[in-house]
Chains A and B, each alone.
Chain A
Amino acid sequence: MSDVPTLAVENLETHFFTKAGVAKAVDGVSFSVGRGEIMGLVGESGSGKSVTGFSILGLVDPPGRVVGGKVLFNGEDLIGASEQRMQKLRGNKIAMIFQDPMMTLNPVLRIDTQMIETVLAHEKVSKETARQRSRDTLAQVGIPSPEERMRAYPHQFSGGMRQRVAIAIALLNKPDLIVADEPTTALDVTIQGQILYEAQKLCRETGTALIWITHDLAVVAGLADKISVMYAGRLAEQGTIDDVLDHPVHPYTIGLLGSVPGHNTRGQRLYQIPGMTPSLLSLPDGCAFKERCEFSDAACALRQEITEPVPGRAVRCCHPQIEAAR
């Protein structure tokens, strides 16, 4: 084990060059994830959280392009790496889990075919070894009687089971990093609970780093070690899960947490952030949140830099609510 984090993203910028203008989907995002660590990447629709995930794996399609920054995977910069190198890493050392498992799985191939293919694409082993490993991995993610289920087609599985298969495929080659993009959003609570349980167990046991992209703060709360909150392509706030959720500093995080209904809010009005997420094509100058923020003033019209108003916390705001944090 070295002190190089599994993944370090530095100042990542991914822009989409559309006819209507340049959309800065990811605009200067930095974070790092170490071995066995789970980071929650949280934001609303259009905040750039998924594009960040795609950028790490080099899966951004035109008109989108990574225009700046570094993605250091075990110290190696993946931006500008050759397509061959990326193919070697993807599905092998870095894996991705998507929201809809039906899109990941090929509907006309049996599960075993797809799994064995994944193993053989990256390693020279016998087909029997590959089959064995596939079976073990399926058992690991909690699929009952994996031997028989391997011979089934994706449509013969339920939604939760399909997502388990997708996770099993991601795990096959024992990746160092998994990027999971809203993997439980389409699932029922009890099934979601099972998947979260498996994910947490795996990271603890195998030392895999995990980035869990979601819009649901409550899911991340129980799962992650640290959290990055994104708004309009930029990081709003970053820190350990307890710090950020218990003592948020950025007005957006405060608003977001206030609008989650829960135990203590019954019958009361929820805090509501006024207005709506701005279009990425017409972001205001300076802070993207200023038009919805109750603390905004003239200083917010300048470009906001990341500061550390409290130790261990990165915040992009010139009015961090430190009093509220205490």
Chain B
Amino acid sequence: MLEIKDISKRFVKRLDVAAKIANRLGASAKEEVVHAVDGVSIAINKGEVVGLVGESGCGKSTLGRMVAGILEPTSGEIHYKGNAVAAKTGKDAAEAALQIQMIFQDPFASLNPRMRVEDIIGEAPVLHGIVAASEKVSYVEQVMLRVGLDPEYRRRYPHQFSGGQRQRIGIARALAVKPDFLVCDEAIAALDVSIQAQVINLFMDLRRDLDLTYLFISHDLSVVEHISDRVVIMYLGRIVEVSPTDELFEKTNHPYTTALLNEVPRVEMRGLDYQPISGEIPSPLDPPTGCHFHPRCLHAMDRCAAERPELREISPGRLAACHLNDDK
């Protein structure tokens, strides 16, 4: 349904006037380039929930934003239902954009504090002609019921709701334009545990009832394990492993995934002797050569510093980017 082909996003910090003058005078200031996403390809099937996992700065949110059409990729293509999104124009493009909706992390920052809930949810469907303006109220009520909000509250403002309810408003807003595909960017990270469970259950109900497809971005592996069919692991802008969820949690392939999984705290684990991966996440301004993970990897060889490992299929449905797989 959605195919991402070799997509990249670079953020460039242009030289300011002072640096340009300095360069004229013989300095060698360079533009700073961040490779937020670096040659990523994934295909997502209809009805699938794909979890996208990684630590801060790995490019998972940037990738999500490109899928949702908020950011333009620097290179590469996104195909939605067989057609390149970037090639569409006018009405087609607007329609395609509606199909993919995004749900944000912060239910405080993502809702306009000066709009009533009925306008937050109802504005877009009216504007896009999904419902007539005269039917807005009944439509909004219907959507609010769908996400478990009391329609009585439609005249209220966002600050009158709790965090969990606000996240439901965000979900209702996304659903109001009848999307097929939802990009959830850390959509439950800001919520309390008991509220988290409510929202996770809501996502699963919506998937069943509305036949939605999700790209579920999270740093929380236990949530991803719970909700996803497939997991994509990113590290510094690149995919390191793609695997069906069951297989991944049974046996990891990439050393980074292994380390990441070991470090997820779980309720079942007690009195652990933590033996963490050493080192920090390198800066994306100046990523390591070859395999990005090699400075922190226990199995690093000479080759890892020199050559970028390809993302290859290691067993049906499983991909990994690691030189260790070549020996097998």
- Cα A271 to Cα B194 with chains together (Å): 9
B266 touches which of A215, A218, A242, A259 (Cβ 8 Å): A218
The 9 lowest CB-CB distance pairs between A and B, nearest first, are: A259-B197, A261-B226, A197-B274, A193-B263, A193-B276, A218-B265, A188-B55, A222-B272, A44-B192
Pairwise interchain contact A158-B200, C-beta atoms closer than 8 A: no
With both chains docked as a complex, state the minimum distance between the C-beta of A123 and any C-beta of chain B, in angstroms. Answer: 32
List 26 A-B residue pairs with CB atoms under 8 Å apart, sorted by A's residue number: A189-B221, A189-B260, A189-B263, A190-B55, A190-B263, A194-B277, A197-B275, A217-B193, A219-B265, A241-B270, A242-B270, A245-B267, A245-B270, A257-B267, A258-B197, A259-B196, A260-B193, A260-B222, A261-B225, A263-B225, A263-B249, A263-B268, A266-B246, A269-B204, A276-B165, A276-B194
Q: How far is the CB of A62 from chain B (nearest CB, A)?
A: 25
Shortest distance between the CB of A190 and any CB in chain B (Å): 5
Distance between A292 CB and nearest chain B CB, rounded to angstroms: 8
A-B contacts at CB below 8 angstroms, number: 137
Q: Is A189 within 8 A of B266, CB to CB?
A: no
- Distance A256 CA – B195 CA, assembled complex (angstroms): 10
What is the interface of chain B, defined by CB distance below 8 A to chain A?
55-56, 162-165, 192-198, 200-201, 204, 219, 221-223, 225-227, 245-246, 249, 259-260, 262-278, 280-281
Nearest B residue to A220, CB-CB: B265
Q: Give A255 to B269 CA distance when docked, in angstroms.
A: 19
* Bound: A263/B55 CA distance, A: 21
Chain B residues within an 8 Å CB radius of A200: 272-274
- In the assembled complex, A113 has its CB within 8 A of some CB on chain B: no
B273 contacts across to A, CB distance below 8 A = 200
Residues of A within 8 A of B226 (CB): 261-262, 265-267, 270
Given A188-B281, A191-B280, A194-B276, A262:B194 Cβ within 8 A:
no
Question: Are the CB atoms of A215 and B193 closer together than 8 Å?
Answer: yes
B158–chain A nearest beta-carbon distance, Å: 16
> Judging by beta carbons under 8 Å apart, are A190 and B197 in contact?
no
Asked if A273 and B269 make an inter-chain contact with CB atoms under 8 angstroms apart, the answer reads no
Query: How far apart are the CA atoms of A20 and B122 in the complex, in Å?
Result: 34
A216 at the interface (CB under 8 A from B): yes
Set of chain B residues within 8 Å of A270, measured between Cβ atoms: 197, 200-201, 226
Residues from chain B with a CB closer than 8 A to the CB of A262 are 222, 225-226, 266-268
| Residue of A158, A191, A215 most packed against chain B (CB within 10 A) | A191
Q: How far is the CA of A255 from the CA of B93 in the complex (A)?
A: 46
B55→A189 contact, CB < 8 A? yes
Chain A residues, Cβ within 8 Å of B227: 261
Complex contact A218–B222 (CB within 8 A): yes
B186 CB to nearest chain A CB (Å): 13
Contacts of B267 in A (CB 8 A): 217-218, 221, 245, 257, 260, 262
Cβ contacts under 8 Å, B264 to chain A: 189, 218
Shortest C-beta distance, B230 to chain A (Å), equals 13
CB distance from B327 to the nearest CB of A (A): 26
- Which residues of chain A have C-beta atoms less than 8 A from B197's C-beta? 258-261, 270-273
Q: Which residues of B contact A101 (CB under 8 A)?
A: none
